Every structure is written in structure tokens, then in C-alpha cells.
């Protein structure tokens, strides 16, 4: 089979950023920006931040063990943005409250690696059980590429720096604009 049937999302007219008026806005441009780690360019093209939405799965609790509990999201058919650390905003079960955080999208090389990348989201100032709940995560800004650390202490120290950088980025970014639901890679044009 050459083509796979996929749901189509109809969207209304979008406001065009004046910097983009002379350029063609295409799904290829969005994918290229995300694969390059340019979340801001992807957001300008989409008119909103790129989002990943999935049900929180159980991991091996390494984040909790080192003081940074994470919600683990498997990507499924989603486009694979650049692997690395992002400042993020998230909504739980499509609720009205936005949580701020930092996330690693990657293969976890410090812990032996994974076959498929996953999104591990640490929400600031949040305590509660997220297992089985849906998390909608906006990639606000790419902070750094994923890398392997020589030991757990070096990783913990870097996560602390990443969290501080994400808080700064998110404070400057202000409140989120809620947009249409994200498209899986197989759905777009």
C-alpha cells in the first residue's frame, strides 16, 4: 500500500507573522525547524508551539531517584524533534491549568540508552500521580542537545542548570496561547 489513510484536521485562517509574509509556510518547513531544534521557528510557522500529547507511562523511576521526577511519554507516530533538553509547558488531562517544566527528548545515553526516544517531562512545583493521565506538552525552546554524562552527579548538576534555564525562558515567554491539537507526523501534509 503506497498511501495510508489518516485523519485530517481542518483549520481556519491563521494570522501570519510579518517576518514570514514573504516565505512559504509548509509542513516541511515546520518539520525541518523541529528536527533542527528550532522550536521558536516551528511555533512561528504553526502560529502556536509544537505539542506532543500522550498518556503518561511508567518508567524505571530514575528521575525520582535523583530528585527530578518525570512523566514519561512515548512518541508513537509523532515527528521526532531534535534530541535534547527543552523548556516546556504542559496541561494535564486537557485541564485549564498550565504547568511549567523542563524535558529531555531522547535516548537516555547516561543510563545505557533506549531503542526509541521518549519525552521525559519534569514539572516544576508539581506533586501528584500522573500515571495513566494524558499530558499535552508544548516545546517552548530548545536548551541543549542530549549528551552522555560520566556519572549521576554530573547529570544531576546539569539537570539543575537546565531547570534554571527553563524557568528563565518560561518566565520571559509569558502565558501560553492555546491552539489546535497537534498533528502526528502521519497526519500532516
Band of pLDDT at residue 108, cut at 50, 70 and 90:
confident
C-alpha cell of 184?
A: 502526528
Decide if pLDDT at 122 tops 80: yes
pTM here is 0.79
What is the predicted pLDDT for the residue at 6?
42
N residues, the chain: 189
Q: What is the pLDDT of residue 18?
A: 47
78 pLDDT above the threshold of 90: no
pLDDT band at 24 (very low <50, low <70, confident <90, very high): low
Amino acid at each position: 500500500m503506497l498511501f495510508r489513510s489518516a485523519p485530517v484536521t481542518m483549520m481556519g485562517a491563521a494570522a501570519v507573522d510579518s517576518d514570514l509574509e514573504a516565505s512559504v509556510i509548509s509542513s516541511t518547513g515546520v518539520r525541518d525547524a523541529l528536527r533542527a531544534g528550532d522550536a521558536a521557528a516551528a511555533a512561528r510557522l504553526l502560529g502556536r508551539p509544537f505539542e506532543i500529547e500522550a498518556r503518561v507511562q511508567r518508567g524505571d523511576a530514575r528521575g525520582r531517584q535523583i530528585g527530578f521526577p518525570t512523566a514519561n511519554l512515548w512518541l508513537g507516530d509523532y515527528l521526532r524533534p531534535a534530541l535534547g533538553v527543552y523548556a516546556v509547558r504542559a496541561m494535564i488531562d486537557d485541564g485549564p491549568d498550565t504547568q511549567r517544566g523542563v524535558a529531555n527528548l531522547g535516548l537516555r545515553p547516561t543510563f545505557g540508552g533506549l531503542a526509541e526516544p521518549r519525552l521525559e517531562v519534569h514539572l516544576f512545583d508539581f506533586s501528584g500521580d500522573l500515571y495513566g493521565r494524558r499530558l499535552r506538552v508544548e516545546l517552548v525552546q530548545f536548551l541543549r542537545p542530549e549528551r552522555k554524562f560520566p556519572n549521576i552527579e554530573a547529570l544531576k548538576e546539569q539537570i539543575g542548570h537546565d531547570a534554571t534555564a527553563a524557568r528563565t525562558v518560561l518566565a520571559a515567554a509569558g502565558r501560553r496561547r492555546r491552539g489546535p491539537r497537534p498533528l502526528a507526523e502521519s497526519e500532516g501534509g
